[in-house]
A and B are shown apart, each in its own frame.
Chain A
């Protein structure tokens, strides 16, 4: 047994022995790791729209979100061998997306310290209340990045705190605090429409 295989046995989650459904994210990722390009196609098609939406909310800019989605899938392809079998694909993918968005923002700010990152977000008026959603986007940009990330994933994407903690590499308590504080700020900024949430 090679050292690589030993490390796999020791550090790969015990779940790796459990068969996964072929059409689940995890099943597709396993197939992609074995070289099946059609599995990547399926993963791409399944996640590209939700990721773009998530990143638009996170960055406040459609162009930045498009860049970050591209970086996310490039990272998925380049790091497919780093994905640990038995773990969940979605938190891993969203962790990549958050990292890409954060780094893109940091680099933009370094190149142009005066740049205001959030831009105008193009929102399709045929989907929901465009004005309300524009206000939400604007309010989200008022939050510090970690709070925004927690709020978007928990309140808008419907993730549990445990899933967010795994994805962003923080403790569950820290994520809860970020989401709570972020929600408080949002509640204040959107107090005239907040009852929608209750």
Chain B
């Protein structure tokens, strides 16, 4: 490090009473158990996988997952992978040189997959509010888990955005398998819009949640 600026040095001692006060405030925390990020990330992964499997197979309504074509399965599994990578990288305390490529990759990969959803028929618009509602409902639990875990990190909007993206893409992955409607208007309004809404809501809520630790 270079020589400090002559305007001031940071080596001046702190008044003893202030130092003691600060130390007392922190000491109570020393015995409290820490919350490992790996546990939060593992919970996020498990819940995401359970919701994906449950959403795809158990809550089957009009469309059997077995009847879904291979490309649709590919897109859906791709979105699931994006959700898992974004979720784990968003919760991990890894150095930026590790986490940034993963975060950017998951955002870009997810964006590419979402644009692939538009390779569908330009047929008549199918208004189905149920798709919108189910997609929001599916993303509630992973978004909630991610938000609670994010309180252990500094409140960065980029992190909240990635976690919202993770929850939203998981939900979109499920709906990809369930929804038979492929017209652009329907996909945009009832599938992509909820994804963006989840991202925005996650960012909004994170800003208002208390922060337990300001670690990056």
Measured CB to CB, the residues of A under 8 A from B are 3-4, 7, 11, 13, 37, 40, 44-45, 48-50, 52-54, 57, 66, 69-84, 87, 92, 95-97, 99-100, 103, 124, 127-128, 132-133, 136, 155-160, 163, 166, 169, 196-197
Which 6 A-B residue pairings sit nearest by Cβ, starting from the closest?
A79-B215, A99-B154, A82-B93, A50-B10, A99-B214, A75-B213
Docked CA distance A80–B26 (Å): 13
- Residues on the B chain within 8 Å of A169, using CB: 96, 156, 216
Closest Cβ–Cβ distance, residue A151 to chain B (whole Å) = 9
Contacts A53-B10, A99-B216, A103-B211 given; does A77 touch B93 at CB 8 Å: no
- Out of B4, B7, B29, B213, name the residue touching A132 (CB < 8 Å): B7
Docked CA distance A92–B34 (Å): 18
B92 touches A157 (CB 8 A): no
Docked CA distance A53–B7 (Å): 12
B36 within 8 A of A: yes
Interface 0/1 of B50-71, CB less than 8 Å to A: 0000000000000000000000
- Residues on the A chain within 8 Å of B94, using CB: 11, 84
- Out of B19, B36, B95, name the residue touching A84 (CB < 8 Å): B95
Closest Cβ–Cβ distance, residue A51 to chain B (whole Å) = 8
B215 touches A96 (CB 8 A): yes
A128 touches B155 (CB 8 A): no
A44 touches B26 (CB 8 A): yes
- Out of B7, B42, B212, name the residue touching A156 (CB < 8 Å): B7
- Residues on the B chain within 8 Å of A66, using CB: 18, 22
Docked CA distance A1–B204 (Å): 39
B10 touches A156 (CB 8 A): yes
